[in-house]
Amino acid sequence: MELDNMQINNNRKPTLYYVYDPMCSWCWGYAVTWQKLRTALEESAMISVQYRLGGLAPDSNEPMPQEMQNFLQQTWHKISTQLGTEFNHDFWAHCQPRRSTYPACRAALIAREAGLEQQMLQGIQTAYYLQAKNPSDLDTLVDLADSIGLNSASFKQQMKSESLNTSLMNEISTVRQLPIQGFPSLVLELENQLTPITLDYQHWQTTFEQVMNEIALNK
């Protein structure tokens, strides 16, 4: 796929985009493998790694329909069975789920500006999947911001800003033009071309080798 008029990176260095949503359960399933892959790629010093937010579900104050709750609970069990990922199923009893991931996405954008996007992502995933807390709730996100060193008052004010929402909508629009089919996804930008990279949920080396091979072929 060519970039056409949607150049998303002006650097000459190859860039791997990790496309995710902070409340995507498959992203949580991929988290351990992704950390190993990201570390290896950064240590290679041959490629830039950047995060991009896909945005699963827009803002909503409505309770999540029971059918959707059942589907997501089944998904959690499926991921746990296939990948061995830990989930705290108390979430479904202790929280009032809403199908709304945009607040968590905005929190990640604020953290990105401070160079703390990875820390915010880990905080959201830990709160959601292990601590049975709801990242759709502003109070949960404010606590997480404080825990990673962001000013909680400033963070809370930013979360309500129209400029932040515009930034998120622009990023989601750009991501939807990428060659992806869901979250998480990996896209390599190399020589003004965008190439989807296969995810191996359990073996980071598989993806690492594919990325390195793509770079080698373009030298």
Instruction: Name the residue among 58, 53, 143, 66 with its Cα closest to residue 101.
Output: 58
Instruction: Give me the pLDDT at residue 141, please.
Output: 98
Instruction: Give me the pLDDT at residue 11, please.
Output: 52
Domain containing residue 131: 15-217
d(CA 184, CA 201): 10
Q: Quick check: is 2 in a domain?
A: no
Angle separating helix axes 102-113 and 117-129, nearest 10 degrees = 150
By the 10 Å C-beta count (0-12 exposed, 13-18 middle, 19+ buried), 32 is classed as middle
Q: Quick check: is 8 in a domain?
A: no
Q: Quick check: is 3 in a domain?
A: no
How many Cβ atoms are within 10 Å of 57's Cβ, its own excluded?
A: 18
How many Cβ atoms are within 10 Å of 132's Cβ, its own excluded?
A: 16
Is the peptide bond between 14 and the residue preceding it cis, with omega within 30 degrees of 0? Answer: no
Instruction: Give me the pLDDT at residue 72, please.
Output: 97
With a CB cutoff of 8 Å and minimum separation 6, the contacts of 71 are none
Q: Quick check: is 5 in a domain?
A: no
Q: Quick check: is 201 in a domain?
A: yes
d(CA 38, CA 178): 20
What is the domain count for the chain?
1
Q: Quick check: is 199 in a domain?
A: yes
Provide the total of helices (H) and of strands (E) in the chain, helices listed first. 9, 4
Q: Quick check: is 92 in a domain?
A: yes
Q: Tokens 């059942």 map to which residue? A: 70
Classified as helix, coil or strand, 10 is coil
Domain with 184 in it: what CATH number? 3.40.30.10
Q: Tens-digit pLDDT profile for the chain (219 aa)?
A: 434 434 454 557 899 999 999 999 999 999 999 999 999 999 998 999 999 999 999 999 999 999 999 999 999 999 999 999 999 999 999 999 999 999 999 999 999 999 999 999 999 999 999 999 999 999 999 999 999 999 999 999 999 999 999 999 999 999 999 999 899 999 999 988 999 999 999 999 999 999 999 999 877
d(CA 215, CA 219): 7
Q: Specify whether the CB–CB gap between 57 and 99 falls below 8 A.
A: yes
Q: Quick check: is 9 in a domain?
A: no
